[in-house]
Amino acid sequence: MANKIKCIQIQKPGNTRYQHEKCYAKGTGNCSTKISGEHVISHVILRSLEKNGKVKIIGLPWQKKGHFGLLPTNTLKSNILCSTHNSILSEFDSEMGRFFKTLIDNDQNLISAKPESNIAHFCGYDLERWMLKVLCGFIASNQIANFSGTVKDLYVDILFNNMPFPHNWGLYISPLPLTQIDHSFGFMPLMENGDVLGVEFLLNNVRFYLLLGTPGGPSFGMYHPAGIESANNGFKRRIEIYWPNDSQENLQGIYLHSTGKTSKGPPREWPDEWKQ
């Protein structure tokens, strides 16, 4: 099956010999002359979280500490890519939107009156490059507190020149059990010695890590996981993640048992003022 999974291959545009000063991929030398608004968090994910066209956001550098902002999804853009490079990465947005929706659908199906077993397939390289895309967006738009670095040339090569991640860099998944599923998205940079060495992503409370080095601290879980399986009363919803270029097949994944207690409200650990 792994040989049948098609991973996204970036088609390089013609060499325009133009470098747009606002585009973080300008080093490729093939920018367009038009800058375009890029959603740092993919618009397809923001739409799935919005209510009345707005999303509740906390933790950005310009926000008051510990307080949410209720912001229109259409305003959460930054001029960090030219139109050419923005459109090149759109496939990753679409694929991650499908992945995020699958996580939500799997959970909702298992607690519904008529659950059904199902299998969905994804290319792991697409998921980890989308995570790198998000990090680059946060860096280029200066949205990481206490960090003033720029997007590294290596990151641009991985995103736009089909370069692989260095050995042991990339996607990890935490095997820690979930006590509650919340319909939410989380992004937390892992900082060390003034540099970003990784990012923790929370997708519906499932904990993913994108490592870009070897940060200290506890284990970050399974490298290049084989998938996620959720089960309830004999029904199984499985996400299979393939890594066609890996030299050895990884059969490790995480297994969740649904208890039918999915939260439809805010996380229970939030202070009361956050829940308004």
pLDDT single digits (tens) 85-107: 999 999 999 999 999 999 989 98
Q: Write the DSSP assignment of 2-28 as a string of letters.
A: GGG-------PPP---B--TT-TTGGG
The pLDDT score that the predictor gives to residue 56 is 80
Tokens at residue 63, please? 């926000």
Environment class of residue 264 by beta-carbon count within 10 Å: exposed (0-12), middle (13-18) or buried (19+)? exposed
Confidence grade of residue 267 (pLDDT, cut at 50, 70, 90): low
Mean per-residue pLDDT, 163-169 = 92
> What would the pLDDT profile of 141-154 be if each residue is shown by its tens digit?
998 988 889 999 99
To which H or E segment does residue 209 belong?
A: strand 206-211
Please give the C-alpha separations between residue 189 and each of 207, 225, 240, 244, in angstroms, as whole numbers.
13, 21, 26, 28
Confidence grade of residue 247 (pLDDT, cut at 50, 70, 90): low
Residue 130's CB is within 10 A of a number of other CB atoms, namely 26
250 has a pLDDT exceeding 80? no
Confidence grade of residue 134 (pLDDT, cut at 50, 70, 90): very high
> What would the pLDDT profile of 209-220 be if each residue is shown by its tens digit?
999 988 776 688
53 has a pLDDT exceeding 90? no
> What would the pLDDT profile of 8-32 be if each residue is shown by its tens digit?
999 888 889 999 999 999 999 999 9
46 has a pLDDT exceeding 70? yes
Residues of the chain with pLDDT > 70, as a percent, come to 86
Least confident of 57-61, 100-104, 146-150, 173-177: 57-61
Select from 257, 223, 265 the least CA-distant residue to 106.
257
The pLDDT score that the predictor gives to residue 79 is 94
Please give the C-alpha separations between residue 216 and each of 83, 193, 197, in angstroms, as whole numbers.
38, 11, 9
Strand order in the sheet with 235-242: 118-123, 235-242, 227-232, 254-257
136 has a pLDDT exceeding 90? yes
- Between CA 47 and CA 52 the distance in angstroms is 10
The pLDDT score that the predictor gives to residue 8 is 94
Confidence grade of residue 4 (pLDDT, cut at 50, 70, 90): low
CB 196 within 8 A of CB 212: yes
Non-local (6+) Cβ contacts of 68 within 8 A are 56, 57, 58, 274
Q: What is the dihedral of CA 133, 237, 119, 248, to 10 degrees?
A: 70
User: Which DSSP category does 64 fall into?
Assistant: P
The pLDDT score that the predictor gives to residue 91 is 94
Report the largest interatomic distance among the alpha carbons of the chain, rounded to a whole angstrom: 59
